[in-house]
Amino acid sequence: MKKRAKKRNATSFRNMRGKSNMRKLFVIVIVVGLVPSVFAQGTDSAVQKAVVPLSSAQLQHLKTNPVQVVAPAGTGKLLNLVSLVAQYKAGSSPYALGDGGDFTASLGSAALGIRLIAAGFIDRTANQIQFNSPSGLGTQSDMENQPLTISNNGAGEWTDGDGSVIVIVYYTVVDLQ
């Protein structure tokens, strides 16, 4: 009889311990899944992502026709660039860089001091990846409610290439005070 009672108590203890573990797991799932969403509700903290493919025609005219990567956020708001990643998909012919130049990111007319180096990137015959953790400095009036664009800062356009570049941008929207 004593053995049976001990066995029942051990089984009961295991069941309680299993329920306790399930409760802990449930709490962990809630904390990991729900809490970040709650705190990321404001526009100042939610990291957003934009993916913009650049065709060979766009790359060959990027000097005169910068490409908008993210639309303006609105009056009293600023786009805060967190990270910029570019993925080159090589075609059958690499780009001739001619007068040089790099990919540069801007908010409107305010250059952010962020560049992705074109040499060793789009002048290759193999796929490439390049990334940059950005920074920016400019007057509020130059940067507020401006689109994020990417352009060629060289003296001339790039030519001959037929590959494409996929630009991936992570950013937040800041409410200016």
| pLDDT tens, residue by residue, 69-98 | 999 999 999 999 999 999 999 999 999 999
Q: Are residues 63 and 117 in the same domain?
A: yes
Chain center to CA of 149: 14
Radius of gyration of the chain (CA): 26
Provide the residue range defining the domain that includes 23.
1-39
Q: Are residues 98 and 165 in the same domain?
A: yes
Q: Are residues 64 and 11 in the same domain?
A: no
Q: Are residues 17 and 86 in the same domain?
A: no
| β-pair type (67-70, 103-107) | unpaired
The Cα 170–Cα 81 span in angstroms is: 6
Q: Are residues 165 and 127 in the same domain?
A: yes
Q: Are residues 17 and 59 in the same domain?
A: no
- Predicted confidence band of residue 42 (pLDDT cuts 50, 70, 90): very low
Whether pTM > 0.85 for this model: the answer is: no
Q: Would you state the pLDDT for residue 137? A: 57
- Predicted confidence band of residue 33 (pLDDT cuts 50, 70, 90): very low
Q: Are residues 19 and 83 in the same domain?
A: no
Q: Which residues lie below 8 Å from residue 125, measured CB to CB, with a gap of 6+? A: 90, 94
The per-residue pLDDT for range 126-157, each reduced to its tens digit, is 999 998 855 565 677 888 899 999 999 999 99
pLDDT at residue 40 greater than cutoff 70: no
**Based on the structure, what is the number of domains in the chain?**
2
